[in-house]
Amino acid sequence: MKNWIQFPIVEGTASRQAHCDMPAGTYEQEMGREGFFGPASQLHHRHAPTGWVKWEGPLRPRAFDLNNATAVSGSPWDARLVLFNGATKIRIWKTEGKMPALARNADGDDLLFFHTGSGHFYCDFGHMPFRDGDYILVPRGVQWRLECDEPAMVLMVEATGDSYKLPGKGLVGTHAIFDPAILDVPRIDDAFKEQYSEAETLCEIKRQDALSHVTYGFNPLDAIGWHGDLAPVKLNWRDIRPLMSARYHVPPSAHCTFLSNRVVICTFCPRPIESDPGALKLPYFHSNVDYDEFIFYHKGEFFSRDNIRPGMTTFHPIGFPHGPHPKAYDTAMDYARKETDEVAVMVDTRDMMTPADLPEGVEWTEYYKSWQKK
């Protein structure tokens, strides 16, 4: 058992409520532990905590345009690696048509987020259609394949050696954010039965990032029924009803969608912006000193960022404060926008992530300068 050292005190000129009624002319920075779940303090600064004018060394904020990161491939194991550590691998995969082989991940659960595309997901448990904005959670060891009606761009987040679960929702109850009843599971429907086959079928199994190839004398996706409480599940961001408050900017942890022991997945969806005159109206500057933060931008205009388009990502590792860009901050605090139209996937990792080698032109190398006022 462990207890944090806790000493809630107020020093100097400070607000009595986090993220509200900041002292005039100040910028609030939250320094917190355990990815917004642990103890935290709010510091009120005379200057924006991101007001750097020069940056040297390997640690820095980074941004990538994943639209240009990879070629089309029929195998998810050809997906471009973007970031990785011992507990997760983040990949981007572009595919089209019908996968030539089944895939099975023996290293951990895979979470697929469909940035673009539509089609059909087939697995040991049956068939599910998919469209843009869908998550499909594939438990470790499940065989699966895609048939795309439209080319797909897929963000893949592996829980290496682990499994994804739903977050506890505490005071707001089980049905908040999304009701578990909204989760779809594969069905043994006519589409699934039509793909029964006696033709030789290849399955590519990934274990410790090495591939083994197993050929069956038939299509092993041949179940006629199943029962239990383990199966792939599907959730679309359009079915998420985000927590919100007119008087207080809720932290990213309130938007948690899936999590493993070392990885937290959050989904930012369109919502009204805080209307209370004293409330902060966008993500606050913060030093999240225990988690690296990766955000994939799927749709709309991210209201705390400038010059970030759908298909791009940002990566803010542990070690420095980050937060809204100057223009976005001014627009939000003037209450010029009344609601957000953004959709984004955030991946917070308890362990340091290492960027993979990416093709020339994928990284926006001067992203750290985007906080400088023009």
What pLDDT, in 10s, does the model give residues 342-358? 999 999 999 999 999 99
* Confidence band for 329, pLDDT divided at 50, 70 and 90: confident
Model pTM? Answer: 0.93
Tell me what the mean pLDDT of segment 35-40 comes to.
78
Catalytic positions, please?
Answer: 249
Could you tell me if 107 and 161 are in contact, meaning their C-beta atoms sit under 8 angstroms apart?
Answer: yes
* Confidence band for 298, pLDDT divided at 50, 70 and 90: very high
Check residue 304 and give its pLDDT.
66
**Scanning the structure block, which residue is given the tokens 């761009």?**
153
Is 357 marked as a binding-site residue? no
Tell me what the mean pLDDT of segment 46-61 comes to.
90
Tens digit of pLDDT for each residue in 66-90?
Answer: 999 878 999 999 999 999 999 999 9
Check residue 303 and give its pLDDT.
64
Check residue 49 and give its pLDDT.
85
Structural domains of the chain in order of their starting residue, each with its CATH number: 27-63+239-371 (2.60.120.10), 71-237 (2.60.120.10)
Contacts of residue 120, defined as CB under 8 A and 6 or more positions apart, other chains included, come to 127, 128, 129, 130, 146, 147, 149, 191
Tell me what the mean pLDDT of segment 32-43 comes to.
80
**At residue 34, does pLDDT exceed 90?**
no
Is 213 marked as a binding-site residue? no
**At residue 150, does pLDDT exceed 80?**
yes
The pair phi, psi for residue 367, each rounded to 5°, is -55, -35
Could you tell me if 125 and 220 are in contact, meaning their C-beta atoms sit under 8 angstroms apart?
Answer: no
Check residue 340 and give its pLDDT.
87
Tell me what the mean pLDDT of segment 45-64 comes to.
91
Tell me what the mean pLDDT of segment 82-105 comes to.
97
**At residue 11, does pLDDT exceed 90?**
no
- Side chain identity, residue 31: M
What does the mean pLDDT of the chain come to?
92
Tell me what the mean pLDDT of segment 322-326 comes to.
82
- Helical ranges in 76-118 per DSSP H: none
**At residue 277, does pLDDT exceed 90?**
no
15 CB neighbour count, 10 Å cutoff: 17
**At residue 229, does pLDDT exceed 80?**
yes
**At residue 7, does pLDDT exceed 80?**
no
Tens digit of pLDDT for each residue in 184-222?
Answer: 999 999 999 999 999 999 999 999 999 999 999 999 999
Is 292 marked as a binding-site residue? yes
* Confidence band for 374, pLDDT divided at 50, 70 and 90: low
**Which one has a higher pLDDT value, 2 or 152?**
152
Residue of 304, 302, 244, 243 lying closest to 274 (CA atoms): 244
Contacts of residue 61, defined as CB under 8 A and 6 or more positions apart, other chains included, come to 314, 315, 316, 320, 322, 367, 368
In the structure encoding, which two tokens stand for residue 355, read together? 């960027």
